[in-house]
Structure formats: C-alpha cells, structure tokens
Amino acid sequence: MANVEAEFFTSNPDPDNPGWYDWVLSDPECYNSFLGDMIVRRGGDGVGDNIARIRMFPERRHRNLGDVIHGGTMMGFIDCSLFAAMRVLDLGPSGLAVTLELQTHFIGAARMDEPLEAQVEVARETGRFLFMRGLVVQGKNGEDNMASFTAIVKKAPKAK
C-alpha cells in the first residue's frame, strides 16, 4: 500500500500476519488509538478483492459488564474501519473525510478471546460521497456475524 497519508498514519506489512498490513496512527492521543492494534488487507481467504478487511484484537478495556465486547467499542471500531477501508480500497485520502451516517445492527455478542473483523465494501461512490456497508465477524473463518452496518462518508475536500 502506498503511504500517501503519512501525517495521519502509517501502514506496513505485518510480519506476524502475512498478507496483512499494520494500521498505526501518528497521534497516539486520537480516539482511534483506544481500539489498540489493528491490521488491514484487501480480500483474501475467500473474501473478494472488493472487500476491505480490518481486524482488531480485543483487550479488557473493550469489554462490558457481561465480559463481551462493549457495543460502543464495536461502533467505534466500525466507524474507524470505514476510513481504513478507504485506504485499503484506494478510494482517496481518508484522514479528513467524515462520517455523515452510520447505522449498526447488532447480531451477536462479540467474544473477547478472538479478533474482531470488519468486512467493508462500497455500495456506491459519487463525486463527494461513499455509500458503504459491511459485516463485523468473528471465528476462524469469519463464520459468526456480530453486526451489520451501512454508512455514508463524505470524502475529504480536494486540495486547493
């Protein structure tokens, strides 16, 4: 992946996960840092190349009182995944894009002991907007659906 937004984040091949790239924010005090380590890739493992895959690794701070991933954590992860997907799918700079709408439907209780993966695709792209949708999954092969979502993202303004 080209490093076109170095002022916001870096992304390099992840040595522990072949085919994946790390997703590291330049500013550790941004909200996104709360999510911890994340890795990204385009397709793979039977998932089409039109799908961006973003993975986080739950920590104790992400849990609720029921010892499953807190819904707010999952929604924050979904929101951040939209922008990682923009980068993975080569949809232009994501650093200054904004979420206009995000609808989330929780399907299952996400477990603490395994990675959580957002699979994001673009339903439609216009000059100023991205209409995106996806699933949050868990399980060795992503067989357990935890949430579904749709979103509208306004692209970053063009440089003057």
> What percentage of the chain has pLDDT greater than the value 90?
74
Nearest to 79 by CA among 96, 59, 104, 116: 104
Is residue 148 over pLDDT 90? yes
Nearest to 5 by CA among 138, 159, 143: 159
What pTM did the predictor assign?
0.90
Per-residue pLDDT, 6: 55
Domain residue ranges in the chain:
9-154
Q: What is the pLDDT of residues 55-107, one digit of tens each?
A: 999 999 999 999 999 999 999 999 999 999 999 999 987 778 999 999 999 99
Out of 3.10.129.10, 3.30.565.10, 3.40.50.300, 3.10.310.40, select the CATH number for domain 9-154: 3.10.129.10
Per-residue pLDDT, 147: 97
Task: Give the Cα separation of 57 and 49 in Å (integer).
Answer: 23
In DSSP terms, 137 is beta-bridged to 117, 145
Q: What is the pLDDT of residues 35-58, one digit of tens each?
A: 999 999 999 999 999 999 999 999
Dig out the tokens for 94 from the structure: 């994501």
**153: exposed, middle or buried (Cβ count in 10 Å: 0-12, 13-18, 19+):** buried
